[in-house]
Structure 1
Amino acid sequence: MLGSKIAWDDTVLPFQLDASDIRGRVARLDGVLNRILAQHAYPPEIEALVAEMALLTAMIGQTMKLRWKLSLQVRGDGPARLIATDYYAPTAEGEPARIRAYASFDANRLLPRVDAFSQIGKGYFAILIDQGKGMVPYQGITPISGGSLSSCAETYFAQSEQLPTRFSTTFGTTRLAGGEEHWRAGGIMLQKMPKASPFAAQQDNEDGLLQAADILNDDDFEDWNRANILLDTVEDMELIGPHVQPTELLVRLFHEERPRVFDPQPVHFGCNCSEEKVRQSLSIYSAKDILRMTTDEGVVTADCQFCGAHYVLDPKTVGFEAEESPDGDAD
């Protein structure tokens, strides 16, 4: 499609539907997504999975407190083995959040012209929240289910958090007038905030996984169902096109639900890899192990899967039997 850069690109707009007790986020990713995918020459099927995962990460991550980290992972036994994303919450008020993502896949097993999600196979969808030094990270896992990564995330919130959640997402390549082709993604997240139903654990679902109806009473379910019907009317171009602002979209979709918006959160591409962290990861290896990792050129190398950074280290300075410190002093 033809499009143009808009002010809302690479932002997440939190909102609330006061008439329905529903909160949500509208997200648009442009430069962030393009930067993520530009690090690798992924096949189209893998690009689609990474794009959707990054969009989900932006919307879910917006609720993270300052300095917290959110990680999403999908692991499967199909050609798409791993999709991993990280969301770094701002370190201070007014600063942007940062996102990074990468995928691991078996190119020889990928099926061309086959739905991207089906190439994950059987596996799990996981969310990890790191609250910082001295805190125990939280991890929740749910089986791969539904027909998209968005469905997996919805199942996770219903099953692990007992929060009815809905995502509407779209993504693809776009071309600025007279410019180069690049990626853009947009989505809306809705989340109902009731108390969990006391009968939720007793539901006899075919796959053992909770759904929204299992954790809502009649009145809450009516509000939730009405908001979902309204969300079903959203069009792809309203989510990623240059002509409809997120605030205008919320009014168009939910004007009877009394939408109220909050300050938007800017999102940038960001990676926290460093030579120090590479050295830390190698500190568990003996000198014999380090020797096996040493190249014919006499160095140890490491590449960041997220940002493509390349590190070259002197083997004498790494491992728990290092002969020298990084600054050249003998240990």
Structure 2
Amino acid sequence: MSVAPDIEIAGEGDDDTVLPFAVEGLDVRGRIVRLGPSIDLILSRHDYPPAVSRVVGEAAALTTLLGSALKFEGQFQLQTRSDGPIEMIVVDFDAPDKLRAVARFDAERLNAALENGDVTTGALLGNGHLGLTVDQGADMTRYQGIVALEGEGLEEAAHAYFRQSEQIPTRVRLAVGEETLGSGDTRRNTYRAGGLMIQFLPQAADVASASVADEDDRWREARLLVDTVEDHELIDSTVSSQRLLFRLFHERGVRVYDPQAVHEACRCSRERIVATIKTFGDDDRQHMVGDDGRITVTCEFCSRVYDIDPAEIESGGGKPEGDAA
């Protein structure tokens, strides 16, 4: 599907989708992601403080931008480990469309940081590293790229990753916010997240490197256009991805491809948990048994609670997948 320069794009927002696009006049390829109910469900389950929810939302949008590019059914994971108040974030994207996320943070240090005005993503993450892992299955080699977190945000970390690992000129924009729905007693705030990524992929290999691309008028123009994107344009439920692309690139002409749906989904199951517990030694398994004689396991990602009879571990039996307390 092409968006011609003289066509006005109508339509409202397109929640929980990834929209690939190309601007052939600039030798640019990219994707826009908009997360609505999926990210709201992920964040509401954990009841994170707003500052943590914002950073987790950014990480989820970035992971979806990158993971949705996989051409096979595999797993893409983003993980941060750092010395800031938000000590760890893990976001899993199971291609082609499943997303889950979790974070660990120090509440006392978080409150102190916010009181000091340290509210940026870079300040809350601190120094450490960002790891990006692609897992294509047991028969394929896993790929992992690591980039340093040095008090910068996730956008800059993504730029550094592509400069160092992929050597593809890349620009990323991320945004997270809340939207008020309903009125009166039904009034509530819901989280939204969005992301936009463009990459310079010219036909001539000798101009593809970041250093040379910086001097290319096409890439300079594309970067400047993306830098005009405001946060609300990425998360406004009434502004579609196509409308935003039209605003940015209508003079050059932009081609959009089929959108890809995304939804929240956890890969936990009773069978997986039972199999994991079986790998523990007898003493470790005994310590897992509570006063009621049961083993209780809570999934860190989706907060689902599994109530397991220790006899299941010994016998190898189990209830159907998804049977949670």
TM tier, smaller: 0.7 to 0.9
Partners of 1:33 and 1:184 within 8 A in 2: yes
Q: TM-score, normalised by structure 2?
A: 0.86
2:317 aligned with 1:326:
yes
Which runs of structure 2 are paired with 1:1-20 in the superposition (5 Å)?
6-20=12-26
2:190 aligned with 1:175:
no
**Please, which moves more after superposition, 242-251 or 222-231?**
242-251
Deviation of 1:163 after TM superposition, in Å, equals 1.1
Deviation of 1:171 after TM superposition, in Å, equals 1.3
Deviation of 1:306 after TM superposition, in Å, equals 0.9
Q: C-alpha deviations, 1:270-320, integer Å up to 9, x for none? A: 1111011112222221111111221111122211111111112222433xx
Deviation of 1:36 after TM superposition, in Å, equals 0.6
Secondary structure, aligned partner of 1:256 = coil
**In 2: Cα distance, 1:48 partner to 1:114 partner:** 14
2:161 aligned with 1:156:
yes
Partners of 2:15 and 2:237 within 8 A in 1: no
Quote the residue 2:41 is aligned against: 35
Name the amino acid aligned to 1:216: A
Quote the residue 1:203 is aligned against: none
Quote the residue 1:101 is aligned against: 101
Given the alignment, which residue of 66, 73, 83 partners 2:79? 73
Which consecutive residues of structure 2, in runs of 5 or more, have no partner in the other structure? Answer: 1-10, 320-325
Q: TM-score, normalised by structure 1?
A: 0.84
Q: C-alpha deviations, 1:36-94, integer Å up to 9, x for none? A: 1011121122111101001111111221123111111111022211111011113xxxx
Quote the residue 2:118 is aligned against: 114
**In 2: Cα distance, 1:68 partner to 1:161 partner:** 19
**In 2: Cα distance, 1:139 partner to 1:118 partner:** 25
Evaluate the alpha carbon distance shift between residue 165 and residue 199 of structure 1 in structure 2; reply closer, same or farther with a 3 A threshold. Answer: closer
Quote the residue 2:93 is aligned against: 87
Say which structure is richer in helix. Answer: 2
**In 1: Cα distance, 2:244 partner to 2:13 partner:** 15
Quote the residue 2:62 is aligned against: 56
Partners of 1:69 and 1:88 within 8 A in 2: yes
Which runs of structure 2 are paired with 1:179-198 in the superposition (5 Å)?
179-194=187-202
2:265 aligned with 1:270:
yes
Quote the residue 2:295 is aligned against: 300
Name the amino acid aligned to 1:176: L
Evaluate the alpha carbon distance shift between residue 190 and residue 300 of structure 1 in structure 2; reply closer, same or farther with a 3 A threshold. Answer: same
Quote the residue 1:313 is aligned against: 308
Which consecutive residues of structure 1, in runs of 5 or more, have no partner in the other structure? Answer: 91-96, 201-211
Evaluate the alpha carbon distance shift between residue 197 and residue 79 of structure 1 in structure 2; reply closer, same or farther with a 3 A threshold. Answer: farther
Which runs of structure 2 are paired with 1:285-296 in the superposition (5 Å)?
285-296=280-291
Partners of 1:13 and 1:26 within 8 A in 2: yes
**Please, which moves more after superposition, 48-57 or 64-73?**
64-73
Secondary structure, aligned partner of 1:307 = coil
Evaluate the alpha carbon distance shift between residue 312 and residue 266 of structure 1 in structure 2; reply closer, same or farther with a 3 A threshold. Answer: same
Given the alignment, which residue of 200, 220, 229 partners 1:225? 220
Name the amino acid aligned to 1:193: L
Deviation of 1:325 after TM superposition, in Å, equals 2.3
**In 2: Cα distance, 1:36 partner to 1:274 partner:** 17
**In 1: Cα distance, 2:213 partner to 2:318 partner:** 60
Evaluate the alpha carbon distance shift between residue 142 and residue 241 of structure 1 in structure 2; reply closer, same or farther with a 3 A threshold. Answer: same
Given the alignment, which residue of 45, 52, 55 partners 1:46? 52
Secondary structure, aligned partner of 2:293 = coil
Secondary structure, aligned partner of 1:154 = helix
Q: Percent of aligned positions with the same letter in both sequences?
A: 39
Q: C-alpha deviations, 1:150-183, integer Å up to 9, x for none? A: 1111111111111111111221111124242101
Q: C-alpha deviations, 1:243-272, integer Å up to 9, x for none? A: 432112112111233211000011111111
Aligned residues: 300
**In 2: Cα distance, 1:139 partner to 1:289 partner:** 31
